[in-house]
Structure 1
């Protein structure tokens, strides 16, 4: 397995065959919609065999520089030895018991030492578990049902959120009606939602890859929640350990009532957390005279490997150097892409945008509007040159050499992009159908043919 240079083009024949088999045994061919083949150019969705640092190797033997890093879950790099060794040591002593372990106490104390304003924490395995637990807790505390959710891409697989998306089949109308949306950086839209509805909680990401909070916005959200008696929930699933080891709340200085964590807190191992103020969290415990909340009760939430991974991540983040490394890599990459685009006369059409530790790339068509066709063409040409990623999200393992190779691949890809713009479309250059939004009502425009003998 060798690395590709800009004169080589990756072949994905074996991956395509494996993807066909995956589609027969797993709905959509992947366990996460964002990992689906419809998010990549047709016949160019690598099936991964292993990873190390900021690179992965696929079934065809291609060595690919990876961005996105496990849907932003990996900040220290794949196979980061201190985490792997901590996990192996924990697993050797057993992973799941009938009573709490000392590891649970140690991990909880580590967590609470990092998170400002949190008095208690409960661990789980994925982000949806903890965001939904936060919503349930808020509803119990306030006696209200309505949720005000920011107009951000994703909070949970559960009914209260998925019912607000185009992919709402199977969600009762009553569940959909219980969530209202408000606009990020728009206090008036939140105030309107709070005035018109009896809101139990307000949930949002304090910041995203594409948007930083405007001055006073988060403080204004805090004040509106206090005024209306609504519980404020920060979704720190992405921002935690990527913005800082204290999360976005530590960067922006606004403390929520509850916060939800996951992804990078285990560097790819399965662990998530709900943290919050004691008065709320105890509603799920044994120090309350109120009706108890069935908060989180998971067999595998406190299992040893996830918590050992988390504690090793905490040790790696003692000084936030991983965040600095991600930001340094992101700045180098954004600058290189900007230079390459300028040299190709494409600054209006292709750019890297967002927080340096959480970059996305923007691809526009001839009319200057974001384009799925041109996004797919860019993905196709980058993949062909050994760069895998729906974004430019970095890790601390992205070295200068890997960033520079990425920029070189980008320069070549932009030559094809320039040709498509000059033609006015991607015809003859894009092989297959464009990518499509992960959350959409129908399988089209990337519907798979029915399996022979098994009509859909």
Structure 2
């Protein structure tokens, strides 16, 4: 398989854009050498690269395009606004309409403020928590990969270059699912921690009573509980994980699926907290969120259409059904090839990821490279198996067939104890690493 036009386009990208992409997770280092397609366009669950190849796509837009590319109801809503202007010197009526639609869908929140990306709103949540509590430290869940591009989080990663140690010292970590360890942290830094921030669920379901236990700990130790619902929002339920599990955070953040690819995110929460960033209170003012493009009309129209479509068409349930069908097919294909213990599917059905394990069942970038290479050859672009509602039965069948062929090669590599002959070049690399 060769992608000459994509290869040339990648060279142009690296000449002009640091890393060759505007998101590190989209970098060509995440794909087998010389097999990082550059996309021309997409429709539904399909995308085409500049070489003319068509792929079934998963994890579209880093999980943002959950309805499929160019969804007609979203495009219709956006087109209505195209001739009406996109940004004004005063709020547009769309701002209140989008807020009403969001809060009707996520009734556990009282107020919402929109922005353009997830980092803006998670950082706003941290700032608000610090202002309300008068505390400087932030406690993040150590087992989760990403919260923000801002210093309070990136300083905890291997890519901490440029961030002062004084900033890094203000962020501490707690393990997911371990209430005792979290309470020990809160005790050690008593009256210092402004908030606990975490994704409420991930590749495994929260242990029984865990989220409710965090709620109780936050109340007892006087800090805020913040749910990062970038991934769980809409995919777990229309109201996110908080709607599914029945535990209400003080603040929560949404994005990704909210705009179906259009740039929109949201900070939501209790009125008494959110109003600190407003005008109707007697406290010291908090510079909560103020973005020139945060209320741009096309993205708010898209978000309103997405929320309406999810509720009216039962999209979350469809995502789960599709994911269950895909997971069953992948597991059967892996078992048939004798690699069921090495190619594994994890996560909630609406948010599936896969693991590639070596001979000793350790996570392996080399085996991931082999797997991705053969998926691409089968017309499947899948850094994960996160589904969109646009997938068809034929798409899933094509995916399972490609997985089956990849697993046959995987078995050969396991038998000789070395995947190198099937890599075609350097292995893929983790996003967070200290050296390029």
Q: 2:164 aligns with which of 147, 172, 185?
A: 172
Q: Hey, what does 1:92 align to over in structure 2?
A: 83
Equivalent residue runs for 1:185-334 within 5 Å: 185-197=177-189, 198-208=192-202, 210-319=203-312, 321-334=314-327
CA distance in 1, matches of 2:125, 2:324: 35
Q: Hey, what does 1:448 align to over in structure 2?
A: none
CA distance in 1, matches of 2:258, 2:404: 34
CA distance in 1, matches of 2:385, 2:359: 23
Q: Hey, what does 1:109 align to over in structure 2?
A: 100
Equivalent residue runs for 1:342-361 within 5 Å: 342-361=335-354
Equivalent residue runs for 1:7-22 within 5 Å: 10-22=1-13
- Say if 1:148 and 1:179, in contact at 8 Å, map to a contact too: yes
Secondary structure, aligned partner of 2:226: strand
- Say if 1:116 and 1:255, in contact at 8 Å, map to a contact too: no
Secondary structure, aligned partner of 1:428: helix
- Say if 2:2 and 2:34, in contact at 8 Å, map to a contact too: no
CA distance in 2, matches of 1:81, 1:423: 49
Q: Hey, what does 2:374 align to over in structure 1?
A: 381
User: Aligned-pair RMSD on alpha carbons?
Assistant: 0.9
- Say if 1:11 and 1:384, in contact at 8 Å, map to a contact too: no
Q: Is 1:160 paired with 2:167?
A: no
Secondary structure, aligned partner of 1:412: helix
Question: What stretches of structure 1 move > 4 A for 4+ residues in a row?
Answer: none
Q: Is 1:437 paired with 2:430?
A: yes
User: Which deviations, in whole Å up to 9, do the C-alpha atoms of 1:186-244 show, x marking residues without a partner?
Assistant: 11121111111110011001001x12100000000000000001011000111111111
Segments of structure 2 that go 5 or more residues without pairing to the other structure are none
User: Which deviations, in whole Å up to 9, do the C-alpha atoms of 1:326-360 show, x marking residues without a partner?
Assistant: 11111111111111111111111112111001000
Task: Tell me the CA shift for residue 116 of structure 1.
Answer: 3.0
Q: Is 1:390 paired with 2:395?
A: no
The count of aligned residue pairs is: 433
The TM-score normalised by the length of structure 2 is 0.98
Secondary structure, aligned partner of 2:422: coil
- Say if 2:44 and 2:68, in contact at 8 Å, map to a contact too: yes
Secondary structure, aligned partner of 2:107: coil
The TM-score normalised by the length of structure 1 is 0.94
Task: Tell me the CA shift for residue 175 of structure 1.
Answer: 0.7
Equivalent residue runs for 1:39-188 within 5 Å: 39-151=30-142, 152-188=144-180
Secondary structure, aligned partner of 1:317: helix
CA distance in 2, matches of 1:307, 1:48: 25
CA distance in 1, matches of 2:421, 2:342: 20
Secondary structure, aligned partner of 1:439: coil
Q: Hey, what does 1:449 align to over in structure 2?
A: none
- Say if 1:349 and 1:368, in contact at 8 Å, map to a contact too: yes
Q: Hey, what does 1:5 align to over in structure 2?
A: none
- Say if 1:377 and 1:429, in contact at 8 Å, map to a contact too: yes
Secondary structure, aligned partner of 2:315: helix
CA distance in 1, matches of 2:193, 2:332: 47
Secondary structure, aligned partner of 2:196: strand
CA distance in 2, matches of 1:133, 1:26: 28
Secondary structure, aligned partner of 2:376: helix
- Say if 2:366 and 2:420, in contact at 8 Å, map to a contact too: no
Segments of structure 1 that go 5 or more residues without pairing to the other structure are 1-9, 444-456
Q: Hey, what does 1:454 align to over in structure 2?
A: none
Secondary structure, aligned partner of 1:168: coil
- Say if 2:39 and 2:48, in contact at 8 Å, map to a contact too: yes
Task: Tell me the CA shift for residue 312 of structure 1.
Answer: 0.5
CA distance in 2, matches of 1:219, 1:235: 16
User: Which deviations, in whole Å up to 9, do the C-alpha atoms of 1:140-179 show, x marking residues without a partner?
Assistant: 0000000010011000000000000111000110110000
Task: Tell me the CA shift for residue 427 of structure 1.
Answer: 2.1
- Say if 1:326 and 1:398, in contact at 8 Å, map to a contact too: no
User: Which deviations, in whole Å up to 9, do the C-alpha atoms of 1:54-100 show, x marking residues without a partner?
Assistant: 01000100000001111000111000011011111112100000000
CA distance in 2, matches of 1:85, 1:113: 22
Q: Is 1:370 paired with 2:363?
A: yes
CA distance in 1, matches of 2:178, 2:429: 28
CA distance in 1, matches of 2:27, 2:134: 39
Task: Tell me the CA shift for residue 319 of structure 1.
Answer: 4.1
